[in-house]
Homo-oligomer: A and B are copies of this chain.
Amino acid sequence: MDPLALDTAIRSFLREDIGFGDLTTEAIFPPDQAGEAAFVAKDTFLAAGLEVAARVFQLRNADVSVLKLAPDGTRAAPGDVLLEVVGPVADLLQAERVALNLAQRLCGIATLTDRFVERVRPLPVRIVDTRKTTPGLRVLEKYAVRAGGGHNHRFGLADGILIKDNHIAACGSIAEAVRRVRARAPHTLKVEVEAATLAQVEECLGCQVEIIMLDNMTPAAMREAVALVAGRALVEASGGITLANVREAAEAGVDLISVGALTHSAPACDISMRLG
């Protein structure tokens, strides 16, 4: 994670929560009273992003020290301590909510990703994320996907080519769309094209598309597409993938399965902070 951007984001999150001051804590704790805080798992999940939570405390007050930090990928059970920090109690309390909100979300994403990854094991397929992330949190959420064993698709519109139905319609054909994009885009990027039918898959192969995204195809159609491609391009399954049907997609032989729910609908994991 890029530390500069992360710090800027965390500072704005703290400002959002603390505003012009924590009226309750400021009235009760002197600024120099020290204490210790622990993040305790209240549930079973895959931990990710505790380093980010630790950073929240340290940006609130540089005097906070981290005593313990569960590495990404730790399988947490209720009662497990995932993070321990010491520092001024007032600052620990004032950073608590932002740190928890981030940790619970990132653990939630890693845990859901892990469940998808488990479901397709040991097939040679990658579970990948999408751009359906929380606005403002994309770097962190894509990080959590990797922590859960998934892989990242392009970050945004600037670092990957994805020619979709609207682009194709505007050009009249896949071939023309690919031609226009290749004329302008850096040579360092593969060209990915969305295909809704086997005919479109064939058209993609005709112009050496490097990645073909099968849009909302049935497992049977995916299987046919994979056979047709025969290794000449990467094949990505996309649309409507759930824990219930991901295995079937994987068995169809695709190389990649993208799942928007990893980031847009993962429930938060339950973690609480204990002050000692």
User: 1/0 contact trace for A223-239 toward B, CB 8 Å?
Assistant: 00000000000100000
Would you list which residues of chain A between 257 and 274 have a CB under 8 Å from chain B? 261, 264-265, 267-268
Query: What is the size, in residues, of chain A's interface with B at 8 Å between Cβ atoms?
Result: 93
Measured in the bound complex, the distance between the Cα atoms of B24 and A171 in whole Å is 12
Which chain A residues numbered 140 to 182 have a C-beta less than 8 Å away from chain B? 142, 146, 151-164, 166-167, 170-171, 177, 180-181
Q: Give A154 to B24 CA distance when docked, in angstroms.
A: 12
In contact, A186 and B151 (Cβ under 8 angstroms): yes
Residue of B nearest to A264 (CB): B268
Per-position contact with B for A81-104: 1 when CB-CB < 8 Å, else 0? 000000001000110011011101
Identical subunits present? 6
B139 touching A137, Cβ below 8 Å: no
Query: In the bound complex, how far is the Cα of B11 from the Cα of A192, in angstroms?
Result: 27
Stretch at the interface among A115-123, A124-132, A199-207: A124-132
Specify which of B97, B136, B184 is in contact with A23 (CB 8 Å cutoff).
Answer: B184
Chain B residues with Cβ below 8 Å from A33 are 170
* A16 and B136 contact, CB distance less than 8 A: yes
- For A98, the chain B residues whose CB sits under 8 A away are 135
Contacts of A177 in B (CB 8 A): 28
Do residues B265 and A267 form an inter-chain contact, with CB atoms below 8 A?
Answer: yes
Question: Which residue of B has the minimal Cβ distance to A168?
Answer: B28
In the complex, the answer to whether B211 meets A187 with C-beta atoms within 8 Å is yes
Is A74 in the interface zone, CB < 8 Å from B? no
Q: Cβ of A255 < 8 Å from any Cβ of B?
A: yes
Q: How far is the CA of A98 from the CA of B4 in the complex (A)?
A: 14
* 18 residue pairs A–B, Cβ–Cβ below 8 Å: A4-B15, A20-B138, A21-B157, A21-B158, A22-B157, A23-B157, A23-B185, A24-B164, A24-B167, A26-B184, A29-B170, A89-B166, A102-B135, A104-B132, A105-B134, A153-B187, A153-B188, A159-B188
9 nearest A-B pairs in the assembled complex, by CB-CB distance: A19-B158, A159-B159, A13-B135, A22-B157, A265-B267, A136-B136, A160-B188, A264-B268, A27-B184
Beyond A24-B163, A28-B181, A29-B167, 11 additional contacts (C-beta under 8 Å) are: A2-B15, A19-B156, A21-B157, A101-B131, A105-B134, A136-B136, A152-B186, A159-B189, A188-B211, A261-B268, A265-B267
